[in-house]
């Protein structure tokens, strides 16, 4: 029998330690505003209003995109727009206005850039609002869900597994509360928090539950910086942007001396008509500036963001679009990615007494006094009346214990939720009283409760991974493996006389039953995996669950290599060996959060571009280190904070669209970049040839406008939006220049040759010479477009044909030919130009074939 005083103590402990009870000890001095001891009811509505009036609100503006002013400034006030603007102003002075058409093109392109980015801003802002976390606070004695910006000083903020700490504060309630501060300190080990301990914003909960009082809000809190950085519409460095910047910087160096030489030569040649000299000089400078390349890159990124936004995919950083195009390995967390969040409890299998071993609270105990007193054993509990083995095997007893485990968990995970749905009904007589609870932790892989059982004994009941709680070689493990091979999830229920706060609560565990759960596979998972296989993207499943169970799920979905799952506890520690193992293995089980991070790093060390998907706090470290982190919208806020991409609808089937969008954007930008740089190269070459030969520049600005529009600007816009599934590769600058430089040299040489031959026949008719040069350059440039547009589809052929037809109209329609100052005289010079263009085309084809072989 139990002493009455002990019963009273038990009641006190029950009321103060049960999860969700209001009697969790408070942190003295946690309240920072002189309101006295912390009240469990939280702030009142009047107190909240008073703090709002004082400005003590967490009102840090978190922007998901650039402001309107920043968008306009970024698109209008650029170095290249300044150059073009100056040239346009010069043409307005010297006239005629036809030669200033290039200025209208710049205005139109800039407007397109602003409009597209504003559309992206609207989409991002709306999606960011949808994806924003809603923390819970206790006010007027009830839990309320508020927005991040509505938290005020001294609010009592409630925490559960996966929640991010939004503001700084002091712990007031703690129920096995473990905080991961790795985003702040770099240390992966969780920190156990007690009442009175400090809480830093930016950390997140990995186990347990609790509450804290907000002591710093708004810009004073460290989270203000983290939140703004995590969700800002950023334009950070990437290989694509860095490559374009390098190209443009080099062009700028060429531009200045070439422009000076061109100005001097044209003034010398056109002494009698300085206006004509200025027009020819402007015509030579404007094509050197590949302004459309920068603009088209921004537009393509913005359109990509909008398209993904329509699929409920939040892109938190623009470079994520590029990263997606380069991904060749996708690491998937099984739970929440391949399987749905929910689970069903399908069986409860009691273990035979022979398998279980003696109960340490019974008469066959190995304790010192033989009656379960556990003298001298650290963390031993008061035994009370023992439960016989046949009682412990009774399914109803096991169900009652599982129900107590479920009711004690204030933030159940899917496995515990299945237990609650099966056995979590209330215990009217309170025969199984919770004295202490320890929520599930991915690090220890079990949860537990300390119970006062019906006959008065105290014992700890643990529910967790069988291969962690059972010793190697235990007979029950064979049954666990058999069930796991069927794709079922198996947990072990056991009982121990050791307290939960002992150094090793599972040391004297008596296994009593296997809890069998069935995971719900996502309907779209198999199709998505097949897509990745068809696109040469490796899919690797990295899970904390049993390797056999994970392998069974992956095999059911048809993932190649899933029949050889690997238990991560056998992973080598040597970096080289780990990289080899990570490269050749498809399915990993029993992976700790740190091992997920190590596996991502190992794959990256072998040159892989890795995307990591996940929804739980155990995925945060790997998500943060992966090249692209993809979080599920319903997952923990910590994962959403560190991921570059958030799937707000939790649809794994969205991933192929995400990858395809990234490839489309980057592949097409690389494709059209060659067109812009070919123009730059031949423009610089023509300018240099004109300077050295002292002849009039062959084109007027209006000629450059029509050539650029029909061979580059309009086609590039359509090509940039076309489907493209080719995975992006490193070496963007090298590949683009390998096409642009020889093609530009061929185009410039062919054009200047045709121009000089025409001048030799009628040196006084500059309009006829210019017309031949324009015809030749158009034919060569359209040939370059035909090479870039491969492989052909009906619409690409139609696009090339339309551009050719448009140029024919310019030559044949009188008012257009007069407007653009084009008139082909006779037949010899035009056909000479055509012959030179064909010869140049043959050289372009040879160059393209050589480049194709070098890939």
Residue among 529, 207, 132, 519 nearest 341 (CA):
519
Contact of 460 with 497, CB cutoff 8 Å: yes
272/548 Cα distance (integer angstroms): 88
Work out the percent of the chain whose per-residue pLDDT is above 90. 17
End-to-end Cα distance, the chain:
84
Distance from the Cα of residue 327 to its chain's centroid: 12
**19 within a domain of the structure (yes/no):** yes
Most confident of 98-107, 353-362, 691-700: 691-700
Neighbours of 683 (CB within 10 A): 28
DSSP state of 351: P
Contact of 785 with 743, CB cutoff 8 Å: no
Structure confidence at residue 388 (pLDDT): 62
Structure confidence at residue 798 (pLDDT): 94
Burial level of 521, CB count in 10 A (0-12/13-18/19+)? middle
719/705 Cα distance (integer angstroms): 19
| Phi and psi torsions of 367, nearest 5° | -70, 170
Structure confidence at residue 526 (pLDDT): 86
Residue among 95, 98, 289 nearest 702 (CA):
98
> What's the rounded mean pLDDT across residues 185-206?
78
Instruction: Answer whether residue 2 shows pLDDT above 60.
Output: no
Structure confidence at residue 651 (pLDDT): 80
**Looking up tokens 């169900």, which residue turns up?**
399
600 with 673, same domain: the answer is no
| Phi and psi torsions of 479, nearest 5° | -65, -35
Contact of 831 with 825, CB cutoff 8 Å: no
**140 within a domain of the structure (yes/no):** yes
Give the confidence band of 617 by pLDDT, cuts at 50, 70, 90: low
Give the confidence band of 369 by pLDDT, cuts at 50, 70, 90: very low
Residue among 431, 382, 434, 373 nearest 408 (CA):
434
The CATH number of residue 566's host domain is 3.40.50.1000
> What's the rounded mean pLDDT across residues 790-819?
90
Give the confidence band of 751 by pLDDT, cuts at 50, 70, 90: very high
Contact of 596 with 619, CB cutoff 8 Å: yes
Structure confidence at residue 604 (pLDDT): 92
Instruction: Answer whether residue 732 shows pLDDT above 80.
Output: no
438/19 Cα distance (integer angstroms): 9
Work out the percent of the chain whose per-residue pLDDT is above 70. 79
843 with 808, same domain: the answer is yes
- Residue that terminates a domain, selected from 170, 198, 231: 231
- Residue that terminates a domain, selected from 638, 658, 678: 658
Structure confidence at residue 566 (pLDDT): 92
256 with 322, same domain: the answer is no
Structure confidence at residue 492 (pLDDT): 93
Residue among 131, 230, 202 nearest 644 (CA):
230
Instruction: Answer whether residue 21 shows pLDDT above 50.
Output: no
Distance from the Cα of residue 700 to its chain's centroid: 48
Structure confidence at residue 342 (pLDDT): 73
Structure confidence at residue 80 (pLDDT): 64
Structure confidence at residue 13 (pLDDT): 33
**809 within a domain of the structure (yes/no):** yes
Count structural domains, the chain.
Answer: 4
Contact of 310 with 125, CB cutoff 8 Å: no
> What's the rounded mean pLDDT across residues 539-545?
87
347 with 492, same domain: the answer is yes
**749 within a domain of the structure (yes/no):** yes
Instruction: Answer whether residue 29 shows pLDDT above 50.
Output: no
612/643 Cα distance (integer angstroms): 9
Half-sphere exposure of 528 (CA within 13 A, CB side): 22
Structure confidence at residue 747 (pLDDT): 94
pLDDT in tens, 383-429: 655 566 666 778 888 888 899 898 888 778 778 888 988 888 776 66
Structure confidence at residue 359 (pLDDT): 45
172 with 246, same domain: the answer is no
684/745 Cα distance (integer angstroms): 9
- Residue that terminates a domain, selected from 231, 255, 271: 231
> What's the rounded mean pLDDT across residues 191-196?
88
- 304 CB contacts (<8 Å, ≥6 apart)? 315, 321, 661, 662, 664, 665
473 with 537, same domain: the answer is no
3-state secondary structure 675-708: HHHHHHHHHHHHHHHHHHHCCCCCCCHHHHHHHH
Lowest mean pLDDT among 407-411, 446-450, 472-476: 407-411
CA-CA-CA-CA dihedral for 595, 601, 606, 609, to nearest 10: 120
**DSSP alpha helix (H) spans, 369-520:** 389-392, 395-408, 414-423, 466-469, 476-484
Domain range holding 211? 4-60+132-231
Which residues belong to the active site?
A: 333
More reliable by pLDDT, 668 or 571? 571
> What's the rounded mean pLDDT across residues 651-674?
81
- Residue 421's SS3 state is helix
Neighbours of 814 (CB within 10 A): 8
Lowest mean pLDDT among 339-348, 725-734, 752-761, 798-807: 725-734
Structure confidence at residue 653 (pLDDT): 80
> What's the rounded mean pLDDT across residues 278-300?
74
728/318 Cα distance (integer angstroms): 16
779/786 Cα distance (integer angstroms): 10
The CATH number of residue 50's host domain is 2.70.150.10
136 with 282, same domain: the answer is no
Give the confidence band of 131 by pLDDT, cuts at 50, 70, 90: low
533 with 517, same domain: the answer is no
457 with 578, same domain: the answer is no
Lowest mean pLDDT among 92-101, 208-217, 458-467, 654-663: 92-101
The CATH number of residue 457's host domain is 3.40.1110.10
Give the confidence band of 463 by pLDDT, cuts at 50, 70, 90: very high
538/535 Cα distance (integer angstroms): 9
Give the confidence band of 736 by pLDDT, cuts at 50, 70, 90: confident
What interhelical angle do 701-708 and 101-131 show, nearest 10?
Answer: 40
Instruction: Answer whether residue 194 shows pLDDT above 70.
Output: yes
The CATH number of residue 250's host domain is 1.20.1110.10
735 with 679, same domain: the answer is yes
Give the confidence band of 161 by pLDDT, cuts at 50, 70, 90: confident
Q: Is the peptide bond before 791 cis (omega within 30 degrees of 0)?
A: yes
Strands 538-542 and 329-332, sheet pairing: parallel
393 with 334, same domain: the answer is no
414 with 514, same domain: the answer is yes
Both tokens of residue 763?
Answer: 């040196």
> What's the rounded mean pLDDT across residues 664-668?
81
Give the confidence band of 381 by pLDDT, cuts at 50, 70, 90: low
**68 within a domain of the structure (yes/no):** no
DSSP per-residue string spanning 722-782: S---PPP-S-HHHHHHHHHHHHHHHHHHHHHHHHHHHHHH-TT-HHHHHHHHHHHHHHHHH
> What's the rounded mean pLDDT across residues 92-104?
72
Most confident of 26-40, 59-73, 324-338, 392-406: 392-406
**119 within a domain of the structure (yes/no):** no
Residue among 155, 209, 215, 211 nearest 29 (CA):
215
Half-sphere exposure of 67 (CA within 13 A, CB side): 5
60/792 Cα distance (integer angstroms): 51
Structure confidence at residue 716 (pLDDT): 86
Contact of 215 with 655, CB cutoff 8 Å: no
Structure confidence at residue 183 (pLDDT): 57
**87 within a domain of the structure (yes/no):** no
**115 within a domain of the structure (yes/no):** no
Instruction: Answer whether residue 20 shows pLDDT above 50.
Output: no
451/461 Cα distance (integer angstroms): 7
**Looking up tokens 């950083």, which residue turns up?**
317
Give the confidence band of 640 by pLDDT, cuts at 50, 70, 90: confident
């Amino acid at each position: 029998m139990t002493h009455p005083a002990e019963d009273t103590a038990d009641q006190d402990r029950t009321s103060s330690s049960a999860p969700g009870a209001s009697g969790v000890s408070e942190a003295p001095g946690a309240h920072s505003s002189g309101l006295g001891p912390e009240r469990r009811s939280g702030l009142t509505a009047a107190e909240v209003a008073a703090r709002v009036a004082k400005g003590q609100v967490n009102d840090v503006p978190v922007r998901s995109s650039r402001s309107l002013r920043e968008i306009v400034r970024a698109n209008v006030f650029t170095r290249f727009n300044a150059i073009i603007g100056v040239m346009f102003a010069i043409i307005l002075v010297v006239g005629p206005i036809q030669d200033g058409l290039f200025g209208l093109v710049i205005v139109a392109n800039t407007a397109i850039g602003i409009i597209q980015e504003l559309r992206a801003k609207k989409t991002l802002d709306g999606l960011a609002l949808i994806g924003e976390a809603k923390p819970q606070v206790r006010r007027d004695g009830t839990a309320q869900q508020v927005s991040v910006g509505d938290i005020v000083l001294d609010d009592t903020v409630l925490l559960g597994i996966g929640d991010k700490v939004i503001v700084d504060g002091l712990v007031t309630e703690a129920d096995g509360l473990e905080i991961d501060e790795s985003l702040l300190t770099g240390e992966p080990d969780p920190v156990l928090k007690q009442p009175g301990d400090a809480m830093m914003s930016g950390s997140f909960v990995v186990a347990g539950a609790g509450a804290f009082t907000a002591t710093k809000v708004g810009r004073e809190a460290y989270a203000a910086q983290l939140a703004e950085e995590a969700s800002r519409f950023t334009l950070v460095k990437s290989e694509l942007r860095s490559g374009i910047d390098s190209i443009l910087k080099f062009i700028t160096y060429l531009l200045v001396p070439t422009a000076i030489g061109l100005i001097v030569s044209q003034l010398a040649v056109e002494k009698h008509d300085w206006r004509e000299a200025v027009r020819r000089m402007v015509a030579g400078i404007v094509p050197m500036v590949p302004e459309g390349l920068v603009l088209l890159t921004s537009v393509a990124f913005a359109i990509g963001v909008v398209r993904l936004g329509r699929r409920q995919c939040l892109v938190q950083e623009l470079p994520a679009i590029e990263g997606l195009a380069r991904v060749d390995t996708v690491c998937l967390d099984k739970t929440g990615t391949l399987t749905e969040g929910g689970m069903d409890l399908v069986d409860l299998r009691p273990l035979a007494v022979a398998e279980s071993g003696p109960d340490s609270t019974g008469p066959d105990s190995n304790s010192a006094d033989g009656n379960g007193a556990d003298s001298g054993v650290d963390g031993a509990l008061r035994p009370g009346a023992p439960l016989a083995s046949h009682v412990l095997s009774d399914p109803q007893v096991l169900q009652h214990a599982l129900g107590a485990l479920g009711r004690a968990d204030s933030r159940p995970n899917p496995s515990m939720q299945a237990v609650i749905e099966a056995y979590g009904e209330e215990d009217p007589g309170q025969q199984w009283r919770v004295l202490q609870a320890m929520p599930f932790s991915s690090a220890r892989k079990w949860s537990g409760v300390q119970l006062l059982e019906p006959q008065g004994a105290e014992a700890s009941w643990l529910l967790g991974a069988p291969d962690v709680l059972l010793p190697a070689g235990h007979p029950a493990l064979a049954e666990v493996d058999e069930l796991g091979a069927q794709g079922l999830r198996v947990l072990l229920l056991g009982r121990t006389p050791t307290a939960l706060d002992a150094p090793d609560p599972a040391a004297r565990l008596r296994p009593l039953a296997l809890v069998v759960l069935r995971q719900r596979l996502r309907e779209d998972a198999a199709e998505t995996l097949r897509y990745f296989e068809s696109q040469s993207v490796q899919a690797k499943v990295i899970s904390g669950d049993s390797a056999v169970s994970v392998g069974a799920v992956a095999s059911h979905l048809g993932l190649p290599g899933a029949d050889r799952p690997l238990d991560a506890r056998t992973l080598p520690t040597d970096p080289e060996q780990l990289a080899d193992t990570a490269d050749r293995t498809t399915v990993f089980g029993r992976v700790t959060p740190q091992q997920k991070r190590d596996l991502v790093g190992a794959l990256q060390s072998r040159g892989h571009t890795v995307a990591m998907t996940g929804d739980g706090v155990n995925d945060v470290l790997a998500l943060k280190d992966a090249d692209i982190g993809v979080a599920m919208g319903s997952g923990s806020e910590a994962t959403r904070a560190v991921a570059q991409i958030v799937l707000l609808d939790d649809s794994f089937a969205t991933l192929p669209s995400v990858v395809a969008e990234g490839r489309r954007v980057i592949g097409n930008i690389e494709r059209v970049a060659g067109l812009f740089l070919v123009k730059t190269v031949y423009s610089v070459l023509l300018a240099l040839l004109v300077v050295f030969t002292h002849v009039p520049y062959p084109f007027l600005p209006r000629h450059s406008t029509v050539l650029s529009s029909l061979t580059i600007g309009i086609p590039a816009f359509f090509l940039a939006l076309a489907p493209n599934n080719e995975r992006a590769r490193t070496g963007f600058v090298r590949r683009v220049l390998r096409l642009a430089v020889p093609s530009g040299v061929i185009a410039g040489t062919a054009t200047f040759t045709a121009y000089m031959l025409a001048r030799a026949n009628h040196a006084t008719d500059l309009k006829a010479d210019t017309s031949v040069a324009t015809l030749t350059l158009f034919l060569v440039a359209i040939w370059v477009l035909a090479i870039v547009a491969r492989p052909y589809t009906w619409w690409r052929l139609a696009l090339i044909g339309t551009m050719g037809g448009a140029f024919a109209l310019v030559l044949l329609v009188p008012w257009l030919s007069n407007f653009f100052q084009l008139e082909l005289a006779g037949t010899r010079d035009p056909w000479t130009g055509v012959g030179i263009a064909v010869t140049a085309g043959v050289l372009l084809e040879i160059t393209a074939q050589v480049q194709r072989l070098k890939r």
